[in-house]
Every structure is written in structure tokens, then in C-alpha cells.
Amino acid sequence: MHELSITQGILDIALTNAGARKIKKINLVIGQFSSIVDDSVQFYWDIISKDTLAEGSMLHFERIPGEMTCRACGHVFRPNGETFTCPSCSSISVRISKGNEFQVESIDVE
């Protein structure tokens, strides 16, 4: 149920950057480790963007899958949800290299 406040944050950022121009599309980059439900954001978006310059605009979600990099052998892999061990060399010395993204990357305006 946290999508309403997130959606409000997205709208504020979009309106601040749009100047007086009509907003057509908001491009979001969301990593796998950021908990957010697209459909829920879209639902709130249609409600809270009404009567603003963003009314009728489209949300575009670029989803970044979670990715880990092994510090021992350099192997890059996607965690399977049960273990973070490197599937190549079995090392547990790994770091998250992708999946924390949570930002408005750009907006398209008229």
C-alpha cells in the first residue's frame, strides 16, 4: 500500500521539471530490489494526475533485473531467491551490482 506516496513523488518530480508544458510520458527506471507494483502505481497515477499537466500521460517502467557479481571470480549472475552463492565458483563473496535503481529518468513533454 505504499504506492500512493511513491506515485505522488513521481508526479511532483514530473511537474517540477515540465515547466508549463503538457506531459506525455514519464520514464521510470525501477530495479528488482525496489518494492513497487506497476499496476498499483498506474492506478493511483490516473487519479492524482487528473487536472494537472500530466493528465492522460503514460508511465513507462524500465525494469532492471537484480544482478550480482562475484568478488572471487568476477562471474555475473541473477540471484535465484534461495541463495546468493556464486553459481560458477561457489564463493559467498558477492556484491549486488544491479537492481537498486528507483528513479525518474526523463519525461516527454509537448
Q: Is 50 in the site for another protein (CB under 8 A)?
A: no
- Shortest CA distance to 89 belongs to which of 76, 80, 102? 76
Task: Report the C-alpha gap between 46 and 101 in whole angstroms.
Answer: 23
Q: Which residues contact 34 (CB under 8 A, 6 or more apart)?
A: 99, 100, 101, 102
Q: Determine the Cα–Cα distance for residues 25 and 48; give it in Å rounded to an integer.
A: 15
State yes or no: residue 18 binds another protein (CB under 8 A): yes
Q: Establish if 52 lies at the interface with another protein (CB under 8 A).
A: no
Q: Determine the straight-line distance between the first and last CA of the chain, rounded to whole angstroms.
A: 32
- Determine, following the binding rule CB under 8 A, whether residue 17 of this chain makes contact with another protein: yes
Pattern of binders to another protein over 68-87, x per CB under 8 A?
-----------x-xxxxx--
Q: How far is the CB of 46 from another protein (least distance, A)?
A: 18
Where along the sequence are the contacts to another protein (CB under 8 A)? 1-2, 4-6, 9-10, 12-13, 17-18, 21, 24-25, 27-28, 33-35, 66, 79, 81-85, 92-96, 100, 102-110
